[in-house]
Amino acid sequence: MDFEAVMALDYETQHLGFHPRTFLDRVYNAFYESLFEALNELKKHLCNEYSHIVPVSSILSSTDELFQELIKKLDKAIDKLEIYIDKNIFMIPNHVILKEDEIHLTNPATKEEDEELDKEIEQIKQGILEERIRKNILKAKLKEQKVVKEELVTFKNKLSDIKAIVCQVKGTQEDLQLTLEKCWGIWNSLKQPPQMK
């Protein structure tokens, strides 16, 4: 039974206190379990009594085939039962009205009330649509901010690396300056010939 057919029985479910499909499922399960147990007993009996005449594997395969055939027939019978029950037993006549539906007969809504409710529904739909759009915009902004944040973290890490390199270069520059001064001192001393005494 498809979803639409199940939902079509909603009124019957309210009236009966149970869903008609539940009844049919229980009937099917009862038949299935009885058939299964009966064939298991038959299988045991045949294996015990006739295993010396017929191989056990043949008995098992034959009873399984019989079970499958009986299940096919059970399915067809339950389908027919379902059609009959839906049309003749669980069908609620048009003149039967549930207590919770009597209010609609005694106090029907006016056309103006219906139009007002329709307008209210449209306003709510519009509000929902606007909220969805706003939510999508916020999601897009959040995604964009995450990308920017990742880029800023990468930029910060690169700046830290550059700062470390600059500090290293600055220390090297000071060492280089000191070395240059010593070199100039040596150069100057080499440039002037030694004075003889």
pLDDT of 85 reads 87
Predicted local confidence at residue 67, as pLDDT: 92
How crowded is residue 20: how many other Cβ atoms within 10 Å of its Cβ?
19
Closest CA to 13 of 25, 21, 1, 5: 21
Give the pLDDT confidence score for residue 140 in this predicted structure.
Answer: 94
Whole-number pLDDT of residue 166? 75
Decide if 11 contacts 98 (C-beta within 8 A).
Answer: yes
pLDDT under 50 in the chain at which residues?
Answer: none
Rounded to the nearest 10 degrees, what angle do helices 20-50 and 56-88 cross at?
A: 160
Q: Does this model's pTM top 0.75? A: no
pLDDT at 12: 75
CB atoms within 10 A of CB 32: 15
Residue 178 has a pLDDT of 80
Tell the burial category of 90 from Cβ atoms under 10 Å away from its Cβ (0-12, 13-18, 19+).
buried
- Domain ranges for the chain: 3-105, 109-189
